[in-house]
Structure 1
Amino acid sequence: MISSLLRMMACRWRVLRHVGVGGLLFVFSLPLSFAQSPATLRGTVADSLSGRPVAGVSVGLQGQPSATVTDALGTFKLSGLAAGAHTLQIGALGYRTSSVPVTLTAGANRLALTLTATTFNLAEVTVSQPRDPNQSLAAISNIDRVLRPVNSAQDLLQLVPGLFIAQHAGGGKAEQIFLRGFDCDHGTDFAVSIDGLPVNMVSHAHGQGYADFHFVIPETVEQLKVYKGPYSARFGDFATSGAGEFRTKTRLENSQVKLELGQFDTRRALVMLDLLGPDRHLLSKQSESAYVAAEYQFTNSYFDAKQHFKRFNGLAKYTGQLSDNSSLTLLGSHFNSNWDASGQIPERAVAEGAISRYGSIDPSEGGRTDRTNASAVLTTGLPHDAVLRQQVYYSNYHFDLFSNFTFFLERPNGGDGINQTETGRNIYGYTGTYDRDDQLGSHLLHSTLGVGTRIDDAGLALRHAVRRQVTDTITAGRLFEQNLHAYLDETLALTDRFTMNAAVRLDVFTFDFRGVLANEATANLEPLRGRLTRALASPKLNLYYQLSPAVQLFARSGFGFHSNDARGVIRGTNENVLPRALGYEAGSTFKPVPSLVVNAALWALHLQDELVYVGDDGNVENTGPTQRYGLDLALRYQLSRRLFLDTDLNYNYGRQTEAPAPANYIPLAPTFTTIGGLTYKQPNGLSASLRYRHIDSRPANDDGSIRARGYFLVDAVAAYTQPRFQVGATVENLFNVQWNQAQFATQSRLPTEPADGVDELHFTPGTPFYLKLNASVFF
C-alpha cells in the first residue's frame, strides 16, 4: 500500500513538472482508480436553542475509532464510509452527547444536527484523531479554551501548553517567548498567526521573528490550534519549536460593553457589536454575520516612573455564504500603542541603593507602534469533493523604539541609548490550499496542495540616541524580502486505526537590502547592499494509531528552519541563511478514566545554527549547532461536577554541541516549567480559578556563571455571569512575590564605574500584587 502511495505521488509530480502552476488544479482534479464509490457524509451542527453553529464538535460513527470535528462554521465531513445503517455520535464540551441513527448511501450524504447545552463535563471529550492529524493537542486546547481565563493578548499566548512569556519594555513591545527549551526571543522559533495573518516579522528592526500579538482583542478569539515541533508542512519560517494558530469569532453570540479598572491607574474599555442582529443567519437564505470590536487601554504600571501606556485596537469582520459552494470572509483591523519604559536594570544598582527595584537607569526608554491589517478569504467547494481556499492579505506597520541596555559602557558622555525604527513596513501575502479526499483502493487518502508568497517591504534604521534625540546612524536602508512556498501533504488511512501523514515543503527566499553601515574604524557610513536567493526543502513523516476510542498514539518527525536577518545575510556574517531544524517525538493522547485527559510526548530537536539578530549593533550572533531533548506532560482532570484541575509539566535539556563543557549551556533556555490551576464552575454562572506558573532558575550565559532567577506565582480570577451581564475580578501575583520577569546577562557601566563595566544579571521586575475589576453588559 505504501509503494502504491509513493507511485501515485511520483506520477503527480511528473505531471506537475510538465503542466506548470497553471495546471495544478487540473492535475489534482484527475480521478484515481478506485473500487466501488464509498459514502461521504457532510453536515452542520448547531445549538438547539439559539440555532448558532457550534465549532469543535466531535463527530464520528459508533464503533469506529476515527472521527472529525466541526469547523468555525459548524460544518463537518466524514469520508470513505461504508454504505448502510450506522449510529452517528456527536459531542462537545458544554453539550449533551447525542447518538443519531443514519442510513448512508454511496456518494454524498447531508445532515443537519443540533446539540443541547448542558453542564461542562470532561467525559464528553474524545481523543479521536482530529481533522488535522498533526494537531495532537486538539483535545487539550478545546478544554483550555473553556477553563483557562483570558484577560489580555499575553494570556492568549500562554494558552499554548508549556509556553512562557516575559515583558521588558512597559507592555508595548512583543513578549519574550520560552517554549521547549528555547528562548525564542520575540519569536525566532515560534510562529504565530491570527486568521491566517502572519504575526512574526522577518528582518525586524528589533529582532528576527518579532511577534507583536497586542493587535488582537482577546475577547474576539474563539479558537487556538497548537502545533509543537516542525512536523506540519503548513508552517515554514520560525516554526521550529512550534506554531500557534489563532482564529477570531465568526459571529458574536451577544453584543457587549465591558469596563475594567485596576491598580496603577489601569483603565480598559471594550465594545463588541453584532451588526446584523442575532437571528439574521436564521431569517436569510444565505448565512452571513458581521461585527465590529474596539478596545482602549491605559495604565501607568507599577514602576517608579509612570509608563503612560496607551493602546487602541479596532476590528471589523464579515462572513457570508455566497452560494451553496462558496463563502467569503473579510477582515480589517487597526492597532496603535505608545508608552514610556523603565527598561531592564542591573542587580548591583538595586543592591547598592542607587535605585529601587522598580526604578530606572535611563527613564527615556519607550516607543510607539501601529499595525493595520486587511484580509479576504474565499472558500470554494469544487467537484470531486474538493475544497479550494484562497486568502490575500495586507499589513501596514510602523515601529519606533528607544532602548538602553548597557547604559554608559560605549558612550560615557551621552549614554548608550539606541533608536530602532521601521518606517512603513508593507506586507503583501497570498496563500492558497487545495484539499481533496480520494479513495486509494479501500483506503481514504486526503491530499492538500498549498502555495503562497509573502513580500516584506520596509525602511529599517538603527541609530544612537540621547534622551530620545537621535544622533548618528549605525545602519539604515530599505528591505525587500520575499518568501515563495509550496507544499504537498498526503494523509493515508492505512487501516481504520492506523494513519500515515507524509509531506514535503519547499521555501524560496530572496533577501535584498539597500542601505548604509557605519564603519567603526573610520566613523564613516559605507554602502551595505546586496541580493541573495536561497531555497530549502523540508520533508515530514508522521504516524498515528488509534489504539482505542480513548487512546491515540503518535510518532512524528520533520525538518524545519528559521531564517536569518537580511542585514546579516548581506553582511555575510553567517553563510547559512536558512539553518535547518530536525525534530522528532513519540507520545500519546489518552483518557485513563472518563474524567481525565492526558497528553504526553518525548521529543528531540536539533538546530543546525542558532541565529539571533542583535538589534544593539545591527549584527547577527550565531551560537552554532544546538540539541534539545524533553518531556511534555499535560493533564486535564475533572475532580467533581464543578471542580477542574489542569497542569502542564515540561522538562527540557539543551546544549551547544560544538562548545566545550562547561561553557556549552544555551543561555536562558529553561529546564523545567509548569503552569496549571484549579477552576470552579457553577451552573448558576459563578466561576473562579486559582492559577500558578513556575519557571526554574537557569544559566543566563554560556558557562552558567550568571543565572536567571526562577519564580513561582499564583494568580486568581473570579466571575459571575448571567445572560445580560457579567462582573469579575482578577489578581495577578496574589502573594506579592518579588520576581524577575525578563532577565539577561549583560555587560554594562554605571557613571561612576570603571571603563570596562560589570558583567552581571540585568532584569525587569515582575508585576507585584495587581487587582483589577471588570463589568460587562450583554445585549
Structure 2
Amino acid sequence: MRFLFFFSVFILTFSAKSQAVSGTVNGANGKPLSDVLIRNLIFKTHAHTDINGKFTLEETKIGDSLQISEQGFITQKIKLLSNENLSIQLEEKPFLLEEVTITNNLKYLNTISKIDLEIQPVSNSQDLLRKVPGLFIGQHAGGGKAEQIFLRGFDCDHGTDINVTVDGMPVNMVSHAHGQGYADLHFVIPETVDNIDFDKGSYFADKGDFTTAGYVGFNTKNALQNSSLSFEGGQFDTFRTVALFNLLNKENQSAYFAGEYMMTDGYFDASQNFNRINLFGKYAAKMNNGDKLTIAVSHFKSQWDASGQIPDRAVNDGTISHYGAIDPNEGGNTGRTNFNLQYDAKIDENTHIKNTAYLSKYDFELYSNFTFFLNDPVNGDQIKQKENRAIVGFQSEYNEKLSEKWLFKLGAGLRNDNNKDVELSHTLNRKTVLEYLSLGTVNQTNLFTYSSLDFTSGKWLINGGLRLDYFKFGYEDQLASTYTNQTQTKAIVSPKLNFLYTQNDKLQYFLKLGKGFHSNDTRVVVAQKGEKILPETYGADLGINWKPFPRMIINSAIWYLYLAQEFVYVGDEAVVEPSGKTERKGFDFGFRYQLTNWLFWNTDYTYTHARSIDESKGNDYLPLAPVHTLMNGFSVKDLKGFSGSLRTRFLGDRPANEDNSVVAKGYCITDFSVNYQIKKVSIGVNIDNIFNTKWKETQFLTESRLANETDPVEEIHFTAGTPFNARLILKYSW
C-alpha cells in the first residue's frame, strides 16, 4: 500500500509538471500583441506570443505564478487558477529601458529599433533609413531621387548593397535606369510605420539579393489608435500635410487610410519646385481559426527640379554660390502604385505559414548633367534616364516548432521585373533627344528557396540556414539593327551559420557567419555572357549585447566582409566597369541609456577599414567608403506634455579616389525638435542644422568642363546640404 501511495503521488506530480497552458495576449484596443514574454516564476520556463498574440507555456500547472511583460506595457503577475485558455490584456505605460531584457533572439538589433522608435518617432522619409545604426544617407537631386546610402564601408549608391523591403515587398529595383538596386522609399508615409526589422551582414536565409552590407524591413501599422490631421510649414516655401483616418477598428478587423502631400522650393538658388503625393490604405482581419489577412494599396507620385552637383572651382571663383547651379534644368518625375497581400495561415499551435504577394507599377524619368560641356561643347551633356516597369512576386514561408529545442523554416518565392523601354539618351532642355545611348527592354526573374533550423539548448541558440537563388536575365536591345533578345541564367547557393550564447538576461555573445550576394544589371550579365555576374560576399560578426546597468544597453561587434570580383554597369554612361576583390573590416558600437523616466541618451559609432585586394598598397582605397561615423542624441519623452530631441550626426573625411590624394570632406550636423501635447492638440518645431553649418551632403570626384573652359578639370563636385531650416507642425487627433 505504501508503494502504491508513493507511486500515485509520483504520477500526479509528473502529470502536473508536464501540463501546459495556452492563451492570448491583447492590447487595450483588443489587438493581439506579438513577442510578449510569458514566464513561469516557479519552474523558470518561458514562452513568447506569436503574430496572433497566442502562446503555449510548457511545464505549468494550476497554482503557478506567471509574469507577462512587453516593452511599453505594464507588467502583469497572475496566479494560474485553471488550465482553461487564458485571455490577458496589457495596458500601455511610460517607456522604461530597465524592462528591456536580453533574450535568445538572433535579431537583437530589432530591440534597438523599437527603443529608438519609441523615444524618437520618425518625422520624414529620410528619418526612416537613419534609424539603422551606422547608416548615412545623402540626397543630391532636389529631394525626388532616392537617397545615396552609406553603410559598413560601402557606398551603396542608391541601394546596391542593402536589401530594403516594406511589408515584405521589395523596394530595390533590379536593372534600374539609374543604378542597380535603386531603392526609392519615398512612397512610404512615415507616420504609418509600426516597426523596423534590420541587421547588418548577410546572415539570414530569408534575405537574398542585395543583402551585402545588411537589410532593412519596414512594417506598416495594421490599425490606428486614433485619427489625426497635421499641417507642417516652414522656410523655403515648405508645406506638408498628413491625414490618418481610422475607418474600422473592431476586435477582429481594422482599416485605415493615410494621405500625404508635400511641396517645397528648396534651399537652392534655383527653385526645386518639388511636390509629392502619397496615398495609402490598409485592411487587416483576424479569422476565427487564427488566420490573419492584410491587404494594402498605395499610390505615389513625385516631380521636381534640381540644381545637381556643382564643381568646387565654380564656387571658389564666385561664378555661383554654395547653393548655386551650373545646369538648373535637371530634375525628373517618378511614381509607384502597389498592391500587397499578406496571409498568415495557422495550421496548429506549433505550425503556421506566412504568405506575401505583391504587384507594383513603377515609372521613372530623370534628367542629369554631371559633366556639363565635356562631351558636347555646344548643347551640353544633359542625359535622360527613363523606364516603365511592372513587378510581380510572392514569398511563402512554412514555420514549425518541432519541439522546445527545434524550430524549422522552409521558404520559397518568385520575383519578376518586366522593365520596358529602359532608356539612356543625350538630351537638350529636357525635350529634344539628341542621341540614344542605350534603349532596351529588361525581363528578369528570380526564383528562390531557403530553409533554416534553430536549435536551442540551455544558454545556446544555434541557427543554420541554406539559400538557393536562380536568375534568368533577358535583354532586348532596341538599338540593334536586327531583333535580338539575349538571355543568361545563373544560380548561387548561400549558406549561413550563427551562434548565440545568452549568459543571462543581461549579457549575450554572438558569432554570425554567412555568404551573401547582389545581382548585377541585366545589361552587364549579357555583355559578360553570364560570367562573374553574381558577386558573392563572405562575412563574419563577433559581438556582445550587454546590460551593465538596468537602464543601459550596449551592443558592439567586430566584423569582416569579403566581396568577390564584380562588373558594375554605370547607368549614367551606359558602360561596364570592372572592379576587383575588396575587403572591409570594422567595429560597431551602440549605446542606449535612460537617465531619468523622461530623458534618454543614444550613441552609435562605427569604424571601417575598406580596401581593394587586387591593388598595390597606397592605391587600394575604395572611393567614398566611410571610415568614421557617429550619431549621438538626447531625447525627452512625455515631460509634462513636452517631447523632443537634440541629434548630431558626424561623417568623417573619406577618400575620393583610389590613392586618397583627393579627400571628400566630412561634416557634423545637429538637428533639433520639440513638441508639446495638450489633450487632442500638439504643436511642434523641427529645425535642421541648428548651427547653420555649411556642408556638402554628397561628393564625387568628377571630370567636367564648364562653358568658358577649353580643357576639362577633375575635382570634387558636390551637392550642398541643408542650411538652418525651421518648420512648425500642428496636429489634431480624435
Structure 2 length normalisation: TM-score? 0.94
Aligned to 1:274: 246
Gaps of 5+ in 1: 1-34, 282-286, 519-524
Structure 2 unmatched runs, 5+: 1-14
The letter of the residue matching 2:90 is L
Kept after mapping to 1: 8 A contact 2:620/2:659 = yes
Is 1:764 the equivalent of 2:716? no
Q: 2: CA distance between counterparts of 1:332 and 1:447?
A: 32
Q: Residue 45 of structure 2 contacts residue 59 of structure 2 at CA under 8 Å; is this kept in 1?
A: no
- The yes-or-no answer on 1:327 pairing with 2:292 is yes
Mapped to 2, the partners of 1:169 and 1:553 lie a distance apart of: 42
- Once the two structures are TM-superposed, the CA of residue 45 in structure 1 deviates from its matched residue by 2.7
- Which of residues 183, 189, 192 in structure 1 aligns to 2:164? 192
Q: Deviations over 1:112-171 (max 9, x none)?
A: 2222333221111111123xx3x1212211101111241111100111111100000000
Q: Aligned residue pairs: how many? A: 718
Equivalent of residue 268 in structure 2, options 278, 303, 317: 303
Paired residue secondary structure (1:426): strand
Could you say if the C-alpha distance between residues 396 and 39 of structure 1 is closer, same or farther in structure 2, counting changes exceeding 3 Å? farther
1:430 to 388, 394, 403: 394
SS in structure 1 at match of 2:146 = coil
Q: Look up the match of 1:449.
A: 410
Distance 1:395 1:502 in 2: 33
CA 1:43–1:82 in 2, change beyond 3 Å: closer, same or farther? closer
Go from structure 1 to structure 2 and tell me whether the alpha carbon gap of 1:733 and 1:573 turns closer, same or farther (over 3 Å shift). farther
Per-residue deviation at 1:65? 8.2
Aligned to 1:697: 653
Note if 1:122 corresponds to 2:93: no
For residues 47-86 of structure 1, what are the structure 2 equivalents within 5 Å? 47-48=27-28, 50-54=29-33, 57-62=36-41, 70=49, 75-78=53-56, 86=64
Specify the code of the residue in structure 1 equivalent to 2:726.
Answer: L
Q: Secondary structure at the match of 1:631?
A: strand
Shift of 1:512: 0.3
Structure 1 residues 51 and 346, CA gap change in structure 2 (3 angstroms): same
Q: 1:94 aligns with which of 69, 72, 82?
A: 72
Q: Secondary structure at the match of 1:592?
A: strand
- The 10-residue stretch of structure 1 (744-753 or 53-62) with the greater mean CA deviation from structure 2: 53-62
TM-aligned CA deviation for residue 660 of structure 1: 1.1
Listed as ranges, the matches of 1:98-109 within 5 Å are: 98-102=76-80
Q: How does 1:234-253 map to 2 (within 5 A)?
A: 234-253=206-225
> Separation in 2 of the partners of 1:450 and 1:655?
36
What CA distance in whole angstroms lies between the structure 2 residues aligned with 1:773 and 1:627? 45
Q: Distance in 2 between matches of 1:690 and 1:571?
A: 50
Distance in 1 (CA, whole Å) between partners of 2:43 and 2:458 is 7
Contact 1:66 1:129 in 2 (8 A): no
Q: Secondary structure at the match of 1:323?
A: coil
What residue is the counterpart of 1:26 in the other structure?
none
Matched, 1:180 2:152: yes
Secondary structure at the aligned position of 2:405 is classed as strand
Is 1:684 aligned with 2:640? Answer: yes
C-alpha deviations, 1:370-408, integer Å up to 9, x for none? 000001111111147210121211000000000011111
Query: Which residue matches 2:9?
Result: none
Q: Which residue of 1 aligns with 2:367?
A: 402
> SS at 1:141's partner residue?
helix
Q: Deviations over 1:631-661 (max 9, x none)?
A: 1111110112221100101111110000112
Call closer, same or farther: CA 1:709–1:688 in 2, change over 3 Å. same
Provide closer, same or farther for how the CA distance between residues 81 and 199 of structure 1 changes in structure 2, counting only shifts above 3 A: farther
> Aligned partners of 2:607, 2:42: CA distance in 1, in Å?
37
Aligned twin of 1:25: none
Shift of residue 723, structure 1, vs aligned partner: 4.2
Match for residue 258 of structure 1 among 230, 240, 264: 230
**Match for 1:380 among 326, 333, 345?**
345
Give the corresponding residue for 1:15: none
Q: Distance in 1 between matches of 2:719 and 2:612?
A: 27
- Rate the CA distance shift 1:311–1:70 in 2: closer, same or farther, 3 A: farther
How many angstroms does 1:64 deviate by?
A: 8.0
1:51 to 1:329, Cα distance in 2 relative to 1, 3 A:
closer
Aligned-residue offset at 1:37: 12
Judge which range, 599-608 or 527-536, deviates more: 527-536
- Please identify, of 676-685 and 359-368, the stretch whose mean Cα deviation from structure 2 is larger: 676-685
What amino acid is aligned across from residue 506 of structure 1 in structure 2? L
1:458 corresponds to which of 416, 419, 432: 419
User: TM-score normalized by structure 1?
Assistant: 0.89
Q: Secondary structure at the match of 2:128?
A: helix
Contact 2:45 2:58 in 1 (8 A): no
Q: Which amino acid aligns with 1:533?
A: T
1:511 and 2:473 are equivalent in the alignment: yes
Return closer, same or farther for 1:60/1:486 CA change in 2, 3 Å cut-off: farther
1: CA distance, partners of 2:21 / 2:364:
49
Q: Take 1:777 and 1:567, find their aligned partners in 2: how far apart are those partners?
A: 50
Q: Which residue of 1 aligns with 2:449?
A: 486
> Hey, what's the Cα distance between the residues in 2 that align with 1:655 and 1:83?
59
Deviations 1:258-294 (A, max 9, x none): 1000100000111111112x4x22xxxxx00000100
Number of the residue aligned with 2:127:
155
Residue 468 of structure 1 pairs with residue 430 of structure 2 = yes
Match for residue 773 of structure 1? 728
Change (3 A) 1:598 1:42: farther
Contact 2:61–2:80 (CA under 8 A) maintained in structure 1: no
- Is 1:203 the counterpart of 2:175? The answer is yes
**Amino acid of the residue matched to residue 463 of structure 1?**
S
For 1:177 and 1:706, the matched residues in 2 are separated by 21
CA contact (8 A) 1:517 1:527 kept: no
Report if the CA contact (8 A) 1:745-1:760 is conserved.
Answer: yes
Corresponding residue for residue 490 of structure 2 = 534
Residue-by-residue CA offset, 1:27-51 (whole Å, 9 max, x unaligned): xxxxxxxx99966655433334x44
Call closer, same or farther: CA 1:39–1:561 in 2, change over 3 Å: farther
CA contact (8 A) 1:666 1:699 kept: yes
| Residue pair 2:488, 2:529 contacting (<8 A) in 1 also | no
Q: 1:128 to 1:514 in 2, by over 3 A?
A: same
Residue 648 (structure 1) aligns with: 604
Give the alignment partner of residue 698 of structure 2, picking from 730, 742, 750: 742
